[in-house]
Each structure stands twice: as structure tokens, then as C-alpha cells.
Amino acid sequence: MSDQRNISIHVPVLARVEGEGALDLHIKDGLIEDLKLTIFEPPRLFEKFLEKRETDQVIDMVARICGICPVAYQMTAVHAFEHLFETEVSPWIRDMRRAFYCGEWLQSHSLHIHLLAAPDFLGFNSVTEMATRHAAEVRRGLRLQTLGNDLIALFGARSVHPVGARTGGFYHAPDVDSVNKILARLQDAREDASALLSWTASLPLPDDHQDFISVSLHHEHEYPMNAGRIVSSAGLDIDACEYNDHFREFQIAHSTALYSLLHEQVYLVGPLARMNLNHECLPQEILAQLNDLKIRFPSDNMFHSIIARAAEICLVIDEAIRLLENYTLPQQPSVAWKPRAGIATAATEAPRGLLWHRYSLDEQGLVRDAQIVPPTSQNQARIEQDIKQSLQAFGLNHDEDALRLHAETVIRNYDPCISCATHFLRLNVQRD
Amino acid sequence: MSEQHQQPRVAVHKFSSCDGCQLAFLNLGEDLLALTERLDIVFFAEAGMMNESAEVDIAFVEGSISTAKDAQRIRNIREHSRYLITIGACATAGGLQALRNLAKSDDWVQAIYTNPEHIDTLDKVSPVREHVHVDFELWGCPINKNQLIALVNSLSLGVLPFEETDKLCMQCKRQQHACVMVTKGSPCMGPLTRSGCGALCPAFGRDCYGCYGPAENTNASALGQRFDGVGLLSTQISNRYLSIYSNEQAFACTGQGWNEES
């Protein structure tokens, strides 16, 4: 008789992830025999809905793919269109788009760290439980999240599905007084952000080293957000328009989301991948703090994602302060543009990783077809690979509750946004 | 402990959606902690409360119904809830994904169903009210925290809140924004759209695109004619009606009419 157990773990609804996902794990004779991360968010078919729409309506519609990162979807679409139309935007527009995007990183990262991820590392089921023991830290996190939301609303009127972005720029420029109020709050929050970074580095994070390829944008002058080339830790360096030549999406029966591979290999997108590839673009002060905390990037510990998120919170506060410090009203918050037919592509860095859009437009600027590759479908294969490796490292002899919690912790560490992960399932029909 | 039982027990459920309306809770900031002192939240998967089958006083439902499992799940929720409240366009009216109901191409619809054992999808995306009785609907894509807090306050007093059915135009006038249709010829949906958002788009100098859904007594076809008058193509007019609320009769008829002309 073997003392090795056969265990089936079924987690029907994953807690503290955005969207609907489930995990099935089958261990036989002490080895993981089968592991499936199932995404059962029904296909929402967004790419089909965008057909025959004008670019400005697309910007309003793609926001609805994800309530947590609508700015990422809007910015990726707008950059794709303007690239095709050869629209030259003013420095004001470029700067304010980056400030707008900073708001989303601040909001989304704060939400993820405090409401979704940190309870795992401190042994709580929810943020409200965690608040009973760590009230000051939770309140600090919620304040940062609110500031991020308010920064989005400065440019977008509201933080979920904001209404400010348009092809060529913004519908509206915020007045100087509103900008100065947010600026003062950003300056006050910088200390909170540093304290948060130190706090994440002090969490009892598992020490789990893995071999993975990081993929993100890279920009020669700034930490990547709205612009840059797509690079990888394995030497990839391409323009967004070359994406389909290197990355392949495919369908797996158990999930409604598509999977994605780079040169047939699993890869990582998100804050850790970004930090691994771009840490040298961080301001000196953040690098010095990381050094003091003895955190080194590039890191191969997946659980350093939460520290990368906190470092990016410091970064976006610094960036937003820099961009808004000498704010003046522009003559026009947008520039004129003319539609033309062709292929529009762009990639930006959503809070949870690389987001890529491709649109084919007709001569009136209406969408012929669209392809959207969100970060979570790019990470899906990596998450499954990570769960397998992490559970082996953790020890399959743990009881089922411990295994389940560990697997969930691994998944939540990626901040998977399952609502975004579902898009139109392209199907190859083979007939004999 | 007895105090614990006096707090209303609340569940937040998600169906097909972007998660944006649940954020009306999670984006409350420090008020979120105050709210959890007033409410006993027993199920809210995104926030980590996992008692899905508990009896509750208030069930908030986000998202539209698009699978057979969803249809069963919403019936269970109804059975265990005193008040069932839909939050947002998807739960209340089907949302953007209800555009799938208008798809003409059988080919692509069938292509999605080739693995029915894996992708369990009903023919139509539908709002919650087509499946179970709904006590109150919060309109909006997304809803905002003011609507949510007003609702919680009303229900704590044992009454349903006042339903906002007025047109956005009225709210916009009261806020004294220049009419974007009159001054710029922008195709504003304000004359048809339910107020409640705070007239965000006209305040930014742009046309309303109807994200709070149809108001009462709308004249959708007349506004369609007006859009034609300001120079919109048939496709553009149809696109304005067939968007977040394509499943609502008040917008669907006019939208389909212009779609056929395009």
C-alpha cells in the first residue's frame, strides 16, 4: 500500500478575483495529474460588438470590458487609432494621458494589494477581517485607492467607465483649481506610498523561485505605460504591429478565455514582469528604498509581484506630481484628426500587464474587425504552470484546505481579471 | 451578538459583467469600513465573503443572465433573499453583451456552441427581471455610490427608494450646462436618458451616450430624426441606440429602424 494520497480539489468559485473563475486539481500518487484553471465567465463577444462602430464610440465601449481597468482599454484603443490616422497630439495631451493612466494604476494596485492579495499573506479571508487587526494599513490603502479614483475622475468625470477620452485627446481640460487640489493630495500621499512599499516588503511572502519569461513594454525615456516597444527577458524587441508574428492565441476547451504563447512558450505579463524589465527607469528615491529593503529586481520570486505593485504606486504618485506640478490650461484639450482605412494596432501597460489591440478600419473610420488580447489571457498558461510548481514546492502532503489556500494565493498573486479575459472565441472548423 | 443579528444581512452576486458596479462598494474608500459596520456582508466573492447560500435581507445582483446555470443560480438567490436589487445596466437591462441577441449570423452563433459541454450559453442574454421578481433596479453603466448609499439608507428604514425616471436633460438644465445639441450640434441622448449620473458628459462638453438607460415617456424616434437633421449617417444613429441598452424596447425599435436603413 502506498501512503500517497489521491486528492481531488475543486474550488467552485474563486474568492477575491475580478470575474468568475474556478480551479480543478487532481493529485494522484503524490503527483499532480491534472490541473485546470477554468474561466467560466460567459463569452461576452466584445470584439464582434465593435464592428461598424466609430472610433469615439469604441473608446466608450471597450471601457466596459473591465470595470477595474477601463482607462487601459480606452488608452490602447485611442493610441491604435491615432497611430493609423497619423494624428500628432500636443505635449499637454501626451502628459495628461499619462497622468490619467497613473490614476488607474494607483487605484487598481491599491485595490489589489489591500482587498485581494494581502489578506492571504496575513491569514485573513477578507479586507474587513484584516481591518480588525491592521486598521491603519487598510485605511492607508483605501485612501490611496480613493486618490487613484479621484485622479481618474479629474480627467474622466468618474473612475469606472470614465467619459473624458476621445480620439485626438480629451473632451475637457480640468481647471487649474481642481488640478491643484489633487496635486496637494498626491504630495501628501507620497509618504503613505513609501510606508506601503516597506510594509509589502515585510509581509511573510513565500520564497518560491521559478523560471519564467517576462514580457512588457519598454520605453527609452520613461517607465512604460502608454508607449514603448514590446520586449521580453528572452531578447524579444518588437513594435506592437508585429505582435501576431510572435504571439499565438489559442483556445482550450475548459476555459472561455483564450491562452497565449510567445514563440510557443509560456510567459508572464504584469507588475513583476514590468519591474524585471524596467527597474532601471525608476526614480532614484524608489531604487534607494528597494535597496534598503534588500529587494532586488529582476526577481524570480513570483510573490514579489505585490512589492512590484507597491513600488509602482510610489512611481505613479511621483509621475502624477511631476506631470501636474506646472499644469496650465491648454488652448484645446484635443486635436483634429481625419479617419483613414487600414490596420490600427497599439499596446499599453494595463495595471495587470500588457494589453494589445488591433483594429481594421474602413475609409470612414468604422471598425471592420477587432482583436483584443488582455493581460489575463496572456498570463493564464503561466498561472497554471505556477500553481503546479508552487504546490510541488509547498508540499503535496499538506491537507486539502492548505493546498486549496496555497493554490488560491498563487492565482490571486497575478491579479487575474477574469471579466477581461473572456473575449470572442475564434474557432477553426475542420471538415472531412 | 444580538447586535450582529440586527444588521441587515447582505449578499453581492455577480453574473456576466465587467465588475464595474460592484466597485460602487469597493471604491467607497474608508466609507467601505463604515458600511461594513452597518451591514453584515455574508457573500461577496470579490471581497472574500463566501457564504453563498445564506438567507439574506438584501441581495445585490450585478450582471446579465446568459447561461442555464446562471438562470438556476438567480432562482436560488431569489429564494434566499428578502429584497433582490439589480445593480447596473447588465443586471437591469442585459447590458452591452445583449448586443449578441441582435446577431444575425447563425454561423458565428453556432460556432460558439460547438462545445456546449464547456461553453454553456443560452440563446439570449437577458436581464434579471426576465427570470425572477426584482424589488428594485439601479440603472447605470456603471451605477454610482450615491445611488447605492441612498438605497441602503431607504431599505434600512424599511422602504424602497424613490425611482429616478426623469430625463437627463432636466438634470443638465438644473446644473446650467450649455446644451451640447443646441450649441454644437452634438447628437446628445439626454432627451431620452434617465438622470442619475450627474450630467457628466454635458458638463464635459460632450453628448450623453445614454449609459443610464431609457427615461420614462421617451420619444426615441423623434430624436432619431433630429440626429438625422444634424447630419449623422444611418449607421451612426443606429449605433447610438443599439449600444448598452439594445435590449430595451424604448431604444431597440428606433435603433433597428435606422439599422435597416443603413
Please check whether residues B177 and B125 belong to one and the same domain. no
| Residue ranges of B 74-103 with Cβ closer than 8 A to chain A | 95-97, 99-100, 103
Q: Is A106 on the interface with B (CB under 8 A)?
A: no
* Per-residue pLDDT tens digits for A387-409: 899 988 888 888 878 888 888 88
* B162, part of any domain: no
Out of A119, A160, A255, name the one closest to residue B142 (CB). Answer: A160
Q: Is 50 exceeded by the pLDDT of residue A184?
A: yes
Out of A48, A111, A429, name the one closest to residue B26 (CB). Answer: A111
* Tally of structural domains, chain B: 2
* B74, part of any domain: yes
| Residue ranges of A 239-268 with Cβ closer than 8 A to chain B | 253-256
Greater pLDDT, A416 or A89: A89
Q: Is 80 exceeded by the pLDDT of residue B121?
A: no
Q: Is 50 exceeded by the pLDDT of residue B112?
A: no
- Inter-chain contact B45–A15, Cβ cutoff 8 Å? yes
Q: Is B119 on the interface with A (CB under 8 A)?
A: yes
Q: Is there a contact between A301 and A209 (Cβ–Cβ < 8 Å)?
A: yes
Helix axes A284-292, A176-202, angle to 10 degrees: 20
Please check whether residues B29 and B129 belong to one and the same domain. yes
Q: Is A53 on the interface with B (CB under 8 A)?
A: yes
* Per-residue pLDDT tens digits for A329-369: 999 999 999 999 999 999 999 999 999 999 999 999 999 99
Q: Is there a contact between A302 and A240 (Cβ–Cβ < 8 Å)?
A: no
Q: Which residue of A has its CA nearest to B21?
A: A67
Instruction: Write b or e for each residue in A232-254: b if 16 or more Cβ atoms lie within 10 A of its Cβ, otherwise e.
Output: bbeebeeebbebeeebebebbeb
Q: Find chain A residues with C-beta within 8 A of B47's C-beta.
A: 16, 115, 126-128
Report ipTM for this prediction: 0.94
Q: Find chain B residues with C-beta within 8 A of A43's C-beta.
A: 112, 119, 121
pLDDT bucket at A428, cuts 50 / 70 / 90: very low
Q: B46 CA to chain A: closest CA distance, Å?
A: 4
Please check whether residues B38 and B100 belong to one and the same domain. yes
Out of B14, B70, B97, name the one closest to residue A44 (CB). Answer: B97
Q: Is there a contact between B242 and A50 (Cβ–Cβ < 8 Å)?
A: no
Last residue of one domain, picked from the residues B130, B156, B182: B156
Q: Find chain A residues with C-beta within 8 A of B204's C-beta.
A: 157, 163-164, 171-172
Using DSSP bridges, classify how beta strands B9-14 and A342-350 pair: parallel, antiparallel or unpaired.
Answer: unpaired
Please report the number of interchain residue pairs, chain A to chain B, with beta-carbon separation below 8 angstroms. Answer: 177
Q: Is 50 exceeded by the pLDDT of residue A424?
A: no
Please check whether residues B138 and B11 belong to one and the same domain. yes
Domain that holds residue B21: 2-156
| Residue ranges of A 177-236 with Cβ closer than 8 A to chain B | none
Pick the CATH number of A46-421 from 1.10.10.10, 1.10.3720.10, 3.10.20.30, 1.10.645.10: 1.10.645.10
Q: Is A429 on the interface with B (CB under 8 A)?
A: yes
Q: Is there a contact between A400 and A6 (Cβ–Cβ < 8 Å)?
A: no
pLDDT bucket at A41, cuts 50 / 70 / 90: low
Q: Find chain A residues with C-beta within 8 A of B17's C-beta.
A: 67, 419
Average pLDDT over residues B215-226: 96
Query: Which strand (E) or helix (H) includes residue B168?
Result: helix B168-174
Q: Find chain B residues with C-beta within 8 A of A166's C-beta.
A: 206
Please check whether residues B149 and B183 belong to one and the same domain. no
Residues 6+ positions from A173 with CB-CB distance below 8 Å: A96, A329, A330, A333
- Inter-chain contact A163–B112, Cβ cutoff 8 Å? no
- Inter-chain contact B33–A66, Cβ cutoff 8 Å? no
Say which DSSP state B167 is in: B
The reported pLDDT for the residue numbered A208 is: 87
Torsion of CA A122, A126, A129, A130, to 10 degrees: 40
Q: Is 90 exceeded by the pLDDT of residue B120?
A: no
Please check whether residues B122 and B251 belong to one and the same domain. no
**From CA B189, how far away is CA B198, in angstroms rounded?**
14
Please check whether residues B182 and B145 belong to one and the same domain. no
**From CA A199, how far away is CA A307, in angstroms rounded?**
9
Q: B67 CA to chain A: closest CA distance, Å?
A: 7
* Per-residue pLDDT tens digits for A55-113: 999 999 999 999 999 999 999 999 999 999 999 999 999 999 999 999 999 999 999 99
Please check whether residues B142 and B175 belong to one and the same domain. no
Q: Is A408 on the interface with B (CB under 8 A)?
A: no
Q: Is there a contact between A206 and A412 (Cβ–Cβ < 8 Å)?
A: no
Q: Find chain B residues with C-beta within 8 A of A146's C-beta.
A: 27, 29-30
Q: Is B63 on the interface with A (CB under 8 A)?
A: no
Q: Is 70 exceeded by the pLDDT of residue B4?
A: no
Greater pLDDT, A250 or A232: A232
* CATH number of domain containing B150: 3.40.50.700
Say which DSSP state A417 is in: B
Last residue of one domain, picked from the residues B124, B156, B188: B156
Q: Is 90 exceeded by the pLDDT of residue A159?
A: yes
Determine which of A39-43, A294-298, A317-321, B47-51 has the lowest per-residue pLDDT on average.
Answer: A39-43
Q: Find chain A residues with C-beta within 8 A of B206's C-beta.
A: 163, 166, 171-172
pLDDT bucket at A2, cuts 50 / 70 / 90: very low
- Inter-chain contact B33–A138, Cβ cutoff 8 Å? yes
- Inter-chain contact B206–A172, Cβ cutoff 8 Å? yes
* B122, part of any domain: yes
- Inter-chain contact B239–A70, Cβ cutoff 8 Å? no
Please check whether residues B198 and B143 belong to one and the same domain. no
Q: Is A45 on the interface with B (CB under 8 A)?
A: yes
Greater pLDDT, A17 or A385: A385
For the sheet with A229-232, list strands across it.
A237-238, A229-232, A213-218, A267-268
- Inter-chain contact B16–A41, Cβ cutoff 8 Å? yes
Residues 6+ positions from A102 with CB-CB distance below 8 Å: A151, A225, A316, A317, A319, A320, A323
The reported pLDDT for the residue numbered A37 is: 78
Residues 6+ positions from A200 with CB-CB distance below 8 Å: A113, A118, A306, A307, A309, A310
DSSP letters for A272-311: HHHHHHHGGGS-HHHHHHHHHTT--SS--BGGGHHHHHHH
The label of the residue with cell 510548481 reads A389
The reported pLDDT for the residue numbered B2 is: 39
The reported pLDDT for the residue numbered A239 is: 98
The reported pLDDT for the residue numbered A9 is: 64
Average pLDDT over residues B208-227: 97
Please check whether residues B228 and B204 belong to one and the same domain. yes
Determine which of A296-300, A308-312, A408-412, B53-57 has the lowest per-residue pLDDT on average.
Answer: A408-412
The reported pLDDT for the residue numbered A420 is: 54
pTM of the model: 0.94
The reported pLDDT for the residue numbered B69 is: 87
The reported pLDDT for the residue numbered B3 is: 45
Q: A376 CA to chain B: closest CA distance, Å?
A: 14
**From CA A95, how far away is CA A264, in angstroms rounded?**
37
pLDDT bucket at B5, cuts 50 / 70 / 90: low
Instruction: Write b or e for each residue in B94-128: b if 16 or more Cβ atoms lie within 10 A of its Cβ, otherwise e.
Output: bbbbbbbeeeeeeebeeebeeeeeebbbeeebbbb
Last residue of one domain, picked from the residues B134, B156, B178: B156
- Inter-chain contact A49–B96, Cβ cutoff 8 Å? yes
3-state SS class at A41: coil
Instruction: Write b or e for each residue in B179-206: b if 16 or more Cβ atoms lie within 10 A of its Cβ, otherwise e.
Output: ebbeeeebbbbbbbbbbbbbbbbbbbbb
Please check whether residues B150 and B240 belong to one and the same domain. no
Out of A42, A53, A158, name the one closest to residue B200 (CB). Answer: A158
**From CA A247, how far away is CA B16, in angstroms rounded?**
28
- Inter-chain contact B30–A142, Cβ cutoff 8 Å? yes
Q: A241 CA to chain B: closest CA distance, Å?
A: 27
Please check whether residues B202 and B108 belong to one and the same domain. no
- Inter-chain contact B23–A160, Cβ cutoff 8 Å? yes
Instruction: Write b or e for each residue in A359-395: b if 16 or more Cβ atoms lie within 10 A of its Cβ, otherwise e.
Output: bbbeeebbbeebbbbbbbbbbbbbbbbbbbbbbeebe
Q: Is B26 on the interface with A (CB under 8 A)?
A: yes
For the sheet with A21-28, list strands across it.
A7-11, A21-28, A31-39
Residues A17, A423, A354, A378, CA torsion sign: positive
Q: Find chain A residues with C-beta within 8 A of B66's C-beta.
A: 42
Q: Is 50 exceeded by the pLDDT of residue A306?
A: yes
Contacts 24+ apart (CB under 8 A), A1-4: A2/A29, A2/A30, A4/A29, A4/A30
**From CA B189, how far away is CA B224, in angstroms rounded?**
10
Task: Dig out the grid coordinates for B73 from the structure.
Answer: 443560480
Q: Is A67 on the interface with B (CB under 8 A)?
A: yes
